[in-house]
Amino acid sequence: MLKIFLSLIIIVSFSLSSTTFGLFSEKLGTDFFNFSLKLYEKDDNEFFASIGPSILIPTNLGFGWKHYYKNQSKLTPFSSLSFFQRYANKMAITNGSAIREDNCIGLSGGLSFRPFKRDVYINLGLFGSYDFRGHGMILPFLNIEFYLFSKDPLFK
């Protein structure tokens, strides 16, 4: 059931919302590409559901809120708060389940730059997470975000 749900998010995200590629993500942290579906958008706020599969590190699935502090330039600051579940492979386990699931909370802040007239953005900033096992981490992120079918640009 979970695999079907994850597959639907990926398919719908390519057609309805944003796709991010790069060094980590402002929404879920440790993913090299991220698919997000806007659940609700009003003014400078965006609520999203997101999945961040990756090759070598954990896969993340969650939801959150992203706020843009709009100004009239091509460079706009933002913050994001997310709640997600991280699925990781415990490679040293030979008996029992080799999958570890962690419930996490993430907080990020950064700058979004729109270099073209199209809905393509370059995001740069810091992502911090806490996984309720008592482990926290802070990661830098640099990625490119594509909004394929949005009606209006996020900022001018």
Taking only the tens place, the pLDDT of each residue in 62-119 is 999 999 998 767 789 999 999 998 877 666 555 656 667 788 899 999 999 988 777 8
Residue 154 included in any domain: no
Q: Total structural domains in the chain?
A: 1
Q: What angle do CA 109, 111, 114 make, to 5 degrees?
A: 145
Note the pTM of the prediction, 2 decimals: 0.77
Q: What is the pLDDT of residues 19-51, one digit of tens each?
A: 888 888 898 888 888 888 888 888 889 898 988
Residue 44: the pLDDT is: 87
Residue 24 included in any domain: yes
Residue 69 included in any domain: yes
Instruction: Please give the torsion angle defined by the CA atoms of residues 42, 62, 23 and 141, in that order, rounded to the nearest 10 degrees.
Output: 60
Gap between the Cα atoms of 14 and 122, Å rounded: 18
Residue 57 included in any domain: yes
Residue 39 included in any domain: yes
User: Residue 16 above 60 pLDDT?
Assistant: no
Residue 6 included in any domain: yes
Domain boundaries, position 50: 2-147
Residue 60 included in any domain: yes
Q: Is the dihedral of CA 150, 66, 18, 146 positive or negative?
A: positive
**Mean pLDDT, rounded, for 56-64:** 80
Q: In this structure, what CATH number is given to the domain that contains residue 81?
A: 2.40.160.20
**Mean pLDDT, rounded, for 8-24:** 67
State the pLDDT confidence band at 58, using cuts at 50, 70 and 90.
low
**Mean pLDDT, rounded, for 112-138:** 88
Residue 36 included in any domain: yes
Q: How many helices (H) and strands (E) does the chain have?
A: 1, 8
Strand partners of residue 64? 48, 82
